[in-house]
Structure 1
């Protein structure tokens, strides 16, 4: 006696192959959504160093690729279509449309098999998202640490240099992780725009005096000039366009300013 449609549906849902395909679709959808979140995090971290956004974008590409492959294979798509989907995910703007189509197909397939689908994909993904959050925190921490270690007191070259003094100060603060102890007894408090100049505040934690010796001021000015002249051309262009100087403000342990070392781009011109 031929099975009724209800019996056939029950058979499909209990078939090991179907269950495995549904599990792969659900897993692939979670990976794809995690890739989207990583992409947003990478975009929001741009301008705050190199390694942090780079790690997020690489993670996004891997998650999107894994998710797309799992979904398309489980849906029975042929190799040409799977390759087309992967290529589409690599093309800006096209990747959003590609992901939308793949995600809609995955959601439809899951709902057809009685799975509840929410904002973060199929139900039952608690362990996956806990692991994803943990991995994201580790990657973000590693990226931020690499950015801090790759940065000296001055600005290093980034993928996008700010076009204003205030923007340069914000980039410097993000890259340094200010306030930051750069050596025993010396802490960089941060950078800001002060009277049109790029000011970097440096605190001597163990110094209680009210002024530096002339020899110390001369030496600090020489170091500040070297730092300014070694900046990337894009940074010096921004400073020159706004006619801004670089100021190192030295503070004692109480936070009182004891010296202001000013250098200009003219100091980089050979005499």
Structure 2
């Protein structure tokens, strides 16, 4: 059977450990002691067990565990003499002794570190870590059964030296990838970065020469000018056509080779309708017939 040693721990260290390591919630219901045995029911996650311990000279000599259904476990909890709720946090890496932190939640608050060994020689050779508190003896009633049946231990409020804090932080940093839980360290680092950016004076951006915008191929046309109809292009005044033996002169004079736009030609036609025409002289009638100049 494994041997164990128990050590007190500062409550502030427990809070720091809970930020970095996930824990397992455990609920136990204990029945009154018998002369040679004692029993309790234990709920851990979805697993429920009935534990029977045999006693010899006041110490636990053997243990027997029987798995029961959750419904049966809840019935046993209703008839037990007392209950205790606590959180167990695994601290070892799997090599060497098993190390856990028990944080009791109800009916009383307390905390301790347990270190389990395969034999008494290994336990005697173990050196407590700097962040451990004083070692607890058999008279210190910081056990699930004692708390469930009415014991109220005092909290450890000893000094916290820097070496103890550094030792605990080193342990958490070494095993953070395996036991990463809530990401509290990342949240703290991100908050420090935001504070650093807030406190730092704003840096001026280097001045850059903004190139002048290139001239547009076509000038911008204001909206009013874009909507106004185009003005008619002026047409050259046509020269009056000379009379040709009483022939009606042409209404339009000679035009340039390149035809003007459609709007300009229409305006020129309207101007030609209002141009004064040169009067023609009547010619003498010939061969008894009179011709009227038109």
TM-score, scaled to structure 2? 0.16
If asked which structure has higher relative contact order (CA below 8 Å, sep 6+), I would say 2
Between Structure 1 and Structure 2, which shows a larger proportion of strand residues? 2
- Structure whose alpha-carbon radius of gyration is higher: 2
